Chains A and B, each alone.
Chain A
Amino acid sequence: MDKTITSLAAAIADIKDGSRLMIGGFGGSGAPIELIHALIDRFRETGSPRDLTVINNNAGNGGIGIAAMIKAGMVRKMICSFPRSSNAEAFNEKYLAGEIELELVPQGTLAERIRAAGAGIPAFYTPSSFGTELAEGKPTEEFDGKMYVRERWLKADFAIIKAQVGDTLGNLTYRCAGRNFSPLMAMAADRTIVQVSHLVAPGGIDPETVVTPGIFVDGLVAVPEPEQEEVLVRAGVVY
């Protein structure tokens, strides 16, 4: 078994119009910039994929990554917890113009909905958002004297994430706070594609340190010296 994919273009080739797409990263940490930009390249050449529903904590920064996807017109809907970052103009403009949908989800609920999908749990109860406008229309129930809101799992057709070391079987480690949502998204998507900074043979990662076991990963592409989103945003790079 070898899950390696030789090019970024091939890695994202199956993502379709209307796909639900999870993208790893919290702000710039852990953002799979090269995979995102390969997707934008494909859209510019072919007009596809479009009408995407993108799931990420944020809604893009500056003129690269998810922000560039939004600006290019590939995204119909964002599911996220914090779209209002300091340089989120791409999303802000489309949202205020009514050109993009937003499903706002508390950050911990977003994480747990994704985890639940990967774990085969269709719904769960959380205290988060009870009594707030984000709980409107959702079932609630009292457990042991406290009120909870029922939330549904959040699945996706594809996840694209970034990892630090991956072996050809898909076992992964991450770097610092870059792991954030990625191990959860890897579980929750039908097909998970990973860009790894170091691709190694099976046995190249100590089993004790594996964070995402390879069963959750479908394809890996080596990106040896990945760009860091925050660095690009600060440099004013536009993709």
Chain B
Amino acid sequence: MAYTKLTNAQIAWRAAQDIEDGAYVNLGIGFPEMIAKFQPEGRDVIYHTENGVLGFGGAPKEGEEDWDLINAGKKAITLKPGASFFHHADSFSMVRGGHLDLAVLGAYQVAQNGDLANWRVGSKGVPAVGGAMDLVHGAKRVAVVTDHVTKDGKPKLVETCTFPLTGVGCVTRVYTSLAVVDIVDGHFVLREKLPGMTLEELQDVTGAPLHLEGDPADLTVPALD
């Protein structure tokens, strides 16, 4: 059957639909930041950035940046009414201490037991970890947004991660360009898949067995620019 994989914006849109009203959320730097753009109307979500801000909004206009007011990706941000500042120990207490409802991260690989590899591909170059190893611990849900496969077509959902780990058994849900997959008791459970795709096609590009708990729903998203 024919199918078109989701764009990054569409993956972000799908992830945004699951963020409840009133949630405290950390969006990892890069791709996950896009999720904030698709927050459904009528829901108040308070975004946390680990360098010490709760309640930030979008980017300021060009030329109006205040470079003391940035997010963890060092991009300029604005504040919403009710925002707060705090130091790094408090910020990571919010993370590890179980106060966030959701953290969303990118991934190189996610294993069926919830292991995440997202900080380093090999042993070359300059290693940098930032807050990734902290963000995978403590949030009530730890989700990943990612293409389903690598640029050269290899599965990113795997039996065991081969890249260096960021955290062990930490991921609870994965939003990919083809599917929505939960991690339950050490295996992948398929919740949604592109309607134009067969189970076999999806399994072929997934590196570990996809389990079913009832029929998977259609993964349908709007066309987005």
Contact = CB atoms under 8 A, between A and B. Distances in A.
Interface in A152-190: 174-184
Contacts of A177: 49, 51-53, 68-70, 85
Interface in B140-154: none
Interface of B: 49-53, 66-70, 74, 85-89, 91-92, 95-96, 115, 125-134, 137-138, 164-168
B89 A127 contact: no
7 contacts: A28-B70, A29-B51, A96-B125, A105-B129, A110-B88, A111-B87, A147-B168
Given A83-B126, A108-B134, A177-B53, A126 B96 contact: yes
A144 B108 CA distance: 30
A176 B88 contact: no
Given A112-B92, A128-B137, A176-B69, A81 B128 contact: yes
Contacts of A85: 74
A41 interface: no
A43 interface: no
Contact of A128 (B127, B134, B164): B134
Please indicate which of the listed interface residues B87, B91, B138, B164 has the most CB atoms of chain A within 10 Å of its own CB.
B87
B132 A27 contact: no
Contacts of B127: 83-84, 102, 104
Contacts of B130: 81-82, 106-107
A128 B50 CA distance: 14
A133 interface: yes
A33 to B, nearest CB: 12
Contact of A83 (B66, B96, B128, B134): B128
A112 B85 CA distance: 17
A29 B165 contact: no
A175 B166 CA distance: 32
Contacts of A110: 88
A6 interface: no
A184 B52 CA distance: 13
A108 to B, nearest CB: 3
Contacts of A182: 87
Given A84-B128, A132-B166, A177-B51, A108 B95 contact: yes
Contacts of A81: 128-131
Nearest to A183: B87
Contact of B67 (A127, A129, A228): A228
Counting chain A residues whose Cβ lies within 8 A of the other chain, the interface size class is 35 or more
Interface in A75-116: 81-85, 88, 91-92, 95-96, 102, 104-112, 114-115
For the complex of A and B, list the 3 residue pairs with the smallest distance between their C-beta atoms, beginning with the closest.
A108-B92, A108-B134, A131-B168
Contact of B131 (A29, A108, A127, A230): A108
Contacts of B67: 28-29, 228-231
Nearest to B115: A131
Contacts of B69: 29, 176-177
A30 interface: yes
A123 interface: no
Contacts of B88: 26, 107-108, 110-111, 180-181, 184
A109 B164 contact: no
Contacts of A82: 128-130
Interface string A56-87: 00000000000000000000000001111100
A222 B168 CA distance: 47
B29 to A, nearest CB: 10
A108 B53 contact: no
Contacts of A179: 52, 85-87
A178 B138 CA distance: 25
A130 interface: yes
A13 interface: no
Nearest to B132: A106
A180 B90 CA distance: 10
A115 B89 contact: yes
